C-alpha cells in the first residue's frame, strides 16, 4: 500500500515537472479569424480615441502570427526568451509613463495591451487554442466602448460580432479535436451565420434597453485630457470668447480672442452664443447655425451652467465683481481641483459629469451647479464670485475634463418653509434694479401675482408662478426690432412688444423677482441636449445655449427657473429617476404610434413598475442591510436559474410518462434510472441487445432484474401477453435499491 502511494506521488510530481505540451493549432482559418478580431479591436480603439497611432501594431501582429504558424512544431526557446524580455521592457515603459500620468490611464493601459498582443503573436504555435488573443480583442473593443462618443463604434461592434461568430465555431471544433483539413469541413453556411448574427444583435439591444443605468464612476480617477502647459501668468479676470469681433451693429463692452478690450460695436456671430462673456448685450439680433459644441456623460441631465451675471445694464448684463475672481491650484500628482462652496445648501445629490469639447469654446468651464471637484488638465483654474469656472486657455476640440457636483434636491415642501431673511451680501448684489423702471416692473409683477387662485406666499412658489405667467401672457418674437439706445429691454418686453427673444424672458423674470424683494440673477449655459441612447452621451449644440433665472432661497442655495415658452418650468433635476433612461426613450418612440388611452394606461403601469424597481435598487445599494439582502436575492436567483431547466425537463418527462401505458411507463423509468448511472440505451439497440451489453458491464443481480423487466416489456409490447404489473413494480423497486447500494 505504501509502495503504491509512493509511486503515485512520484508520478504526479513527474507530471508537474514535465507537463505534456499542448499540440499546436493547425487551423489556418481559426488563426486568421483571431487575427481579424485583434485588428478590429485595434481599429475600434483608435477610431474611438480619434487618432490612428496604433495602426503600426496591425502589420506587426500579422507578421508574428505568420511566423508562429511556420514555427508551430518547434520549441522556439530563443524566441520565448526574447518575448519574455520584451514584455518586461514594455511593462517598464508603461510604469514610467504611468508615474507622470495624473488622470485617466485607460489609453496607456490600451497601448500596453496592444504591445503585449504583438509579443504574444510570436508565441502562438505551442498553444492548443488562440483564446488569449481573442480575449485581447474583446478587451480592446470594450475599451473602445467606454471611450467612444459617436455612433461610429456601432459599426466596429457589428464587424467584431460578425468575425467572432465563425471564430467561436472554429474554436469549438478545435477543442473537440475535429481535424479541419478539407474545405467543406470548415465551411459555415452564410444563412446560418446571418441568423446567429441577427439573434445576437437583437438580444444585445434588448439587454441594453433593459439594463439599469446605476450611478457609476465610483473610482475617482476620472477621464481627463493630457496635461496642458500654459505659458505666462494666468489672469483670472480674463474671459476669451472666439466669437467676438468688431463690427457695427450693436454696442458692446467685452474681451476678444486675445483678451483685448472690445469697446464699441460688434456683429452677431452665428456660431458662438453671445452670452459667454463678462458682459452681454441682449440687443443683438440673429440666429445660430446648429453645431455640436460638446458631448457630456453624466449620471443625471441638467442645465450645464457656464456663467452668471448680477448687474442689469438696461439692455444686457454684466459681472460687477469680475475683479474678485480667485485662482485655484491643484497638486502636481492629481488633476483634482477642490472648489470652495459659496452658499449653504440643503440636501444634495452627488452627480459626476465628463465633458468632451468638440468645437472651439471660450475659456469658461461648463458644469452642473454647485461643483465640488473639477478634474482639469491645466495647473490652475479660476472661480468668480457667482460660481462660474474659468480656464487659462480656450477649450479646444478634443479637450476632456470631469466635474463632481453636489446638486440640491427640489424639495418643494422644504422650500416653501424656507425663511425670507437675506444676508447683507445677498441683498447688496442680487436686488439691483434701475430706479426709473422699478415702480412699473413691481406693479406689473404684483398684477400677475394677483391673478393666482391662491396667492403664493413663499419665495419658491412666487418664482414658479411668475415663470409660468410669463409663458402664458407673453410670446416669443423672432422678428423683434432692435431697441434704440435709450430704451429699456424689460420695459419694452412687458409694455411695448409683449414678448421678445428667449433670453429676454429670463431677464424679465429676474427683474420682476428683484422688484418684489427676491434675490435673483441671470445665468447662461446649455440645456441637456439630445441624449444618444447608444453612446450614453448628451450631445449639446450651440443652439442649446440660453439664459435662465437663478433664485436664492435661504438655507437651501440657488435654484434655476425657466420662463421661456416651450421649455419646462425647471430644468431636469436629480429628483427625476434616470435608471432606465434608454428604455424610457424607446417607450416614448413607441408611444407616438399608439392611441392616447392605451398610452395612458400603459404609462401608468410602466411608471408603477419602474418606481418599484427604483425603490428596490435604492434599498439594495444604500446600506449594508441592502447589500446583504441583495446577495441573498442574487444567490436565490442563481439557484432558481440552475433549477429551472432541471424542473422543466422533469415536468416534460413526467408529462410524457403520463401519456404511456403502465408497463411502458415502468420500462422507461428503468431506462432513465440506468442512464443516470452511466449506462444509457442507444437508440439503435433493441431491448435484448441492451440487456446483453449490460451483462458485460453491470453486476449480475442488476443485469438479471433488467433482463426480467425487459422480457416482460417485450412480451407485452409484441406478444400482447397479460402481465403481473405488481410483480414488475416490486422488481423495479428491488432494482432501485440494489443500484443505490452499489
Q: What is the mean pLDDT of the segment spanning 309-324? A: 91
CA gap 638, 251 in Å, rounded: 70
* Strand-pair category, 475-476 with 499-500: parallel
Q: Which residue has the cell 452621451?
A: 537
- So what's the pLDDT on residue 246? 40
- Buried-exposed string 600-610: b where 16+ CB fall within 10 A, e elsewhere: eeeeeeeeeeb
Q: Could you give the angle at which helices 596-622 and 624-658 cross, rounded to 10 degrees?
A: 120
Q: Ranked by mean pLDDT, which of 2-6, 171-175, 450-454 comes out on top?
A: 450-454
Could you tell me where the DSSP H helices lie in 524-623? 581-591, 596-622
- So what's the pLDDT on residue 101? 64
- So what's the pLDDT on residue 546? 94
- So what's the pLDDT on residue 221? 58
Contacts of 434 (CB under 8 A, 6+ apart): 312, 314, 488
**474: confidence class by pLDDT, cuts 50, 70, 90:** very high
Helix (H, G, I), strand (E, B) or coil at 295: strand
Q: What is the mean pLDDT of the segment spanning 76-96? A: 85
pLDDT digit string, tens, across residues 198-213: 888 888 777 776 666 5
Among left, alpha and beta (phi > 0; psi -120 to 50; other), residue 358 is: alpha
Q: What is the mean pLDDT of the segment spanning 728-733? A: 84
Higher pLDDT, 49 or 255: 49
Q: Which CATH architecture has domain 414-523+546-581?
A: Roll (3.10)
Closest to 524 (Cα-Cα) out of 320, 388, 382: 388
Q: Ranked by mean pLDDT, which of 105-109, 184-188, 215-219 comes out on top?
A: 105-109
Domain boundaries, the chain: 22-210, 246-410, 414-523+546-581, 660-741
- So what's the pLDDT on residue 183? 42
CA gap 131, 34 in Å, rounded: 8
Handedness of CA 344, 349, 354, 359 (dihedral sign): negative
pLDDT digit string, tens, across residues 657-705: 888 888 888 888 888 888 888 888 888 888 888 888 888 888 888 888 8
Q: What is the mean pLDDT of the segment spanning 298-314? A: 91
Higher pLDDT, 204 or 277: 277
Give the least confident one: 35-39, 142-146, 274-278: 142-146
pLDDT digit string, tens, across residues 569-579: 888 877 665 55
Is 709:731 a contact under the CB 8 Å cutoff? Answer: yes
Question: Is residue 119 over pLDDT 90?
Answer: no
CA gap 729, 634 in Å, rounded: 43
Question: Is residue 218 over pLDDT 50?
Answer: no
pTM: predicted TM-score of the whole model, two decimal places: 0.69
Q: What is the mean pLDDT of the segment spanning 558-568? A: 92
- So what's the pLDDT on residue 391? 93
Handedness of CA 467, 473, 479, 485 (dihedral sign): negative
Closest to 34 (Cα-Cα) out of 116, 131, 145: 131
Contacts of 81 (CB under 8 A, 6+ apart): none
* Strand-pair category, 348-357 with 400-408: antiparallel
CA gap 182, 299 in Å, rounded: 54
DSSP-assigned states of every residue in 302-354: --EEEEEE-EE-SSEEE-TTGGG-EEEE--TT--EEEPPP-S---SEEEEEEE
Amino acid at each position: 500500500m505504501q509502495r503504491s502511494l509512493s509511486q503515485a506521488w512520484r508520478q504526479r510530481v513527474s507530471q508537474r515537472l514535465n507537463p505534456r505540451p499542448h499540440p499546436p493549432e493547425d487551423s489556418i482559418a481559426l488563426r486568421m479569424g483571431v487575427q481579424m478580431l485583434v485588428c478590429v479591436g485595434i481599429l475600434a480603439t483608435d477610431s474611438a480615441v480619434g487618432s490612428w497611432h496604433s495602426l503600426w501594431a496591425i502589420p506587426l501582429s500579422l507578421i508574428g502570427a505568420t511566423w508562429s504558424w511556420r514555427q508551430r512544431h518547434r520549441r522556439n526557446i530563443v524566441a520565448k526568451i526574447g518575448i519574455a524580455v520584451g514584455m518586461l521592457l514594455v511593462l517598464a515603459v508603461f510604469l514610467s509613463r504611468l508615474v507622470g500620468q495624473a488622470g485617466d490611464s485607460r489609453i496607456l493601459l490600451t497601448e500596453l495591451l496592444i504591445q503585449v498582443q504583438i509579443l504574444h503573436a510570436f508565441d502562438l504555435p505551442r498553444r492548443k487554442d488562440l483564446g488569449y488573443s481573442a480575449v485581447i480583442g474583446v478587451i480592446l473593443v470594450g475599451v473602445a466602448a467606454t471611450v467612444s462618443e459617436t455612433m461610429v463604434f456601432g459599426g466596429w461592434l457589428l464587424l467584431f460580432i460578425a468575425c467572432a461568430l465563425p471564430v467561436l465555431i472554429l474554436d469549438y471544433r478545435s477543442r473537440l479535436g475535429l481535424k479541419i483539413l478539407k474545405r467543406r469541413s470548415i465551411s459555415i453556411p452564410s444563412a446560418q451565420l446571418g441568423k446567429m448574427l441577427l439573434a445576437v444583435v437583437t438580444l444585445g439591444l434588448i439587454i441594453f434597453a433593459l439594463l439599469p443605468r446605476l450611478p457609476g464612476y465610483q473610482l475617482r480617477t476620472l477621464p481627463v485630457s493630457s496635461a496642458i502647459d500654459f505659458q505666462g501668468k494666468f489672469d483670472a479676470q480674463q474671459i476669451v470668447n472666439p466669437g467676438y469681433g468688431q463690427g457695427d451693429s450693436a454696442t458692446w463692452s467685452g474681451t476678444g480672442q486675445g483678451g483685448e478690450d472690445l469697446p464699441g460695436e460688434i456683429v452677431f456671430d452665428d456660431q458662438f452664443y453671445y452670452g459667454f462673456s463678462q458682459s452681454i448685450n441682449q440687443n443683438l439680433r440673429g440666429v445660430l447655425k446648429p453645431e455640436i459644441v460638446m458631448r457630456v456623460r453624466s449620471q443625471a441631465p441638467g442645465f450645464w451652467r457656464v456663467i452668471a451675471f448680477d448687474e442689469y445694464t438696461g439692455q444686457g448684463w454684466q459681472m460687477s465683481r469680475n475683479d474678485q475672481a480667485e485662482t485655484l491650484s491643484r497638486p502636481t500628482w492629481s488633476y483634482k481641483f477642490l472648489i470652495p462652496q459659496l452658499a449653504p445648501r440643503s440636501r444634495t445629490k452627488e452627480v459626476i459629469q465628463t465633458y468632451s469639447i468638440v468645437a472651439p469654446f471660450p475659456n469658461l468651464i461648463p458644469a452642473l451647479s454647485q461643483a465640488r471637484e473639477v478634474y482639469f488638465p491645466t495647473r490652475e483654474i479660476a472661480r468668480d464670485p457667482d460660481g462660474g469656472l474659468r480656464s487659462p486657455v480656450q477649450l479646444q476640440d478634443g479637450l476632456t475634463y470631469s466635474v463632481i457636483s453636489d446638486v440640491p434636491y427640489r424639495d418643494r415642501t422644504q422650500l416653501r418653509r424656507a425663511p425670507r431673511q437675506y444676508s447683507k451680501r445677498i441683498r447688496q448684489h442680487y436686488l439691483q434694479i434701475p430706479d426709473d423702471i422699478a415702480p412699473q416692473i413691481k406693479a406689473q409683477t404684483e398684477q400677475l401675482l394677483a391673478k393666482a387662485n391662491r396667492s403664493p406666499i413663499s419665495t419658491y412658489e412666487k418664482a414658479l408662478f411668475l415663470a409660468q405667467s410669463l409663458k402664458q401672457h407673453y410670446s416669443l418674437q423672432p422678428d423683434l426690432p432692435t431697441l434704440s439706445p435709450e430704451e429699456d429691454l424689460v420695459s419694452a418686453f412687458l409694455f411695448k412688444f409683449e414678448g421678445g427673444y428667449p433670453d429676454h424672458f429670463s431677464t424679465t423674470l429676474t427683474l420682476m423677482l428683484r422688484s418684489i424683494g427676491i434675490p435673483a440673477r441671470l445665468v447662461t449655459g446649455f440645456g441637456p441636449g439630445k441624449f444618444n441612447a447608444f453612446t450614453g452621451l448628451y450631445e449639446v449644440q450651440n443652439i442649446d445655449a440660453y439664459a435662465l433665472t437663478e433664485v436664492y432661497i435661504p438655507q437651501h442655495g440657488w435654484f434655476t427657473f425657466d420662463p421661456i415658452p416651450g421649455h419646462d418650468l425647471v430644468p431636469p433635476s436629480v429628483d427625476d429617476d434616470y435608471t432606465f433612461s434608454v428604455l424610457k426613450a424607446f417607450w416614448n418612440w413607441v408611444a407616438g404610434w399608439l392611441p392616447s388611452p392605451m398610452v395612458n394606461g400603459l404609462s401608468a403601469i410602466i411608471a408603477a413598475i419602474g418606481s418599484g424597481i427604483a425603490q428596490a435598487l435604492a434599498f439594495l445599494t444604500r446600506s449594508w442591510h441592502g447589500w446583504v439582502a441583495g446577495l441573498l436575492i442574487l444567490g436565490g436567483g442563481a439557484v432558481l436559474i440552475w433549477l429551472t431547466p432541471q424542473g422543466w425537463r422533469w415536468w416534460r418527462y413526467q408529462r410524457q410518462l403520463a401519456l404511456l401505458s403502465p408497463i411502458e411507463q415502468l420500462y422507461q423509468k428503468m431506462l432513465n434510472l440506468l442512464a443516470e448511472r452511466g449506462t444509457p440505451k442507444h437508440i439503435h439497440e433493441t431491448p435484448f441487445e441492451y440487456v446483453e451489453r449490460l451483462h458485460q458491464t453491470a453486476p449480475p443481480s442488476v443485469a438479471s432484474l433488467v433482463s426480467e423487466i425487459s422480457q416482460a416489456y417485450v412480451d407485452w409490447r409484441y406478444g400482447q401477453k397479460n402481465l403481473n404489473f405488481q410483480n414488475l413494480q416490486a422488481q423495479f423497486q428491488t432494482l432501485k435499491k440494489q443500484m443505490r447500494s452499489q
